[in-house]
Amino acid sequence: MNIDYIAIGQRIKRIRKKRFTQEKLAEKLDVTPVYISQVENGKTKINLEMLVRIAGLLDTDPGYFINGASYQTQDYLKSDLANLLRDCPPERLQLIYNVVKLIANHGELPAVTKR
């Protein structure tokens, strides 16, 4: 799995701008504003500990910064499903579709045509 530090930085910046300046966030984290800028621009690889600290200060799920979806919501499922389906061959996609449709219809079986 490749880590997209630019996307992580952009997500941090988007949330941070709603709450703090770079200077204020840097002060709370005991780092420099230059460090925050470098993280937000993807020039510095943020470590997990710092990511969790930033997430705590920004009241955001750390998973959101990594993949753009919060595990506190159901949004992550859509992203995970899309990733799983991306590489499936067509015959498996049809099977998956049929199962999902069955479940989505609350267990009601689709009409069966007789031959």
Per residue in 74-94, pLDDT (tens digit) is 555 666 677 678 888 888 888
Residue 62 has pLDDT above 70, yes or no: yes
Contact 26, 35 (CB under 8 A): yes
Q: What is the DSSP letter of 21?
A: -
**Given this model, what pLDDT does residue 115 score?**
46
Distance in angstroms (rounded) separating the CA atoms of residues 24 and 71 = 27
Please report which residue ranges of the chain form alpha helices under DSSP H.
5-19, 22-29, 33-40, 48-57, 62-67, 75-86, 90-104
**Given this model, what pLDDT does residue 67 score?**
81
Contact 42, 8 (CB under 8 A): yes
* Mean pLDDT across 6-15: 95
Please tell me the pTM assigned to this model: 0.61
Burial class of residue 75 in the structure, from the number of CB atoms within 10 Å of its CB (0-12 exposed, 13-18 middle, 19+ buried): middle
Contact 109, 102 (CB under 8 A): yes
* Mean pLDDT across 43-69: 91
